Amino acid sequence: MRIEKDFLGNVEIPENVLYGIHAIRAKNNFPCTIRFHKEWYKSIGLVKKACYLTYQKFNDAVQRHYKTQKIEIRKIKKEVIEFMIISADEVSKGKYFDDFIIPALQGGAGTSINMNINEIIANATLIKLGKKTGNYNYVHPIEDANIFQSTNDVIPTALKVTVMQLLNRLESSVNKLRKLIESKEQIHQNDLRTGYTQLQAAVPTSFGKLFSAYNDALSRDWWRISKCSERIKQVNLGGSAIGTSITVPLFFVMEVTKTLQHISQLPITRSENLTDATQNLDSFVEIHGILKAHAVNLSKIANDLRLLSADIGTKEIAIPPRQAGSSIMPGKVNPVIPEYIVSASQKIYANDTLLTQLCEKGNLELNAYIPLIGHTIIETLKLLIGMNKTMEENLITGLKIIKKTALENMLKNPSITTALLHILGYQKASVLAKTMKENNWNIFEANQALKFLPE
- Considering the candidates 219, 299, 326, 343, report the single residue annotated as catalytic: 326
| Cα angle value 321/324/327 (rounded, 5°) | 155
206 among known catalytic residues: no
User: What whole-number distance in Å separates Cα of residue 191 and Cα of residue 181?
Assistant: 15
Which active-site residues does the annotation give?
326
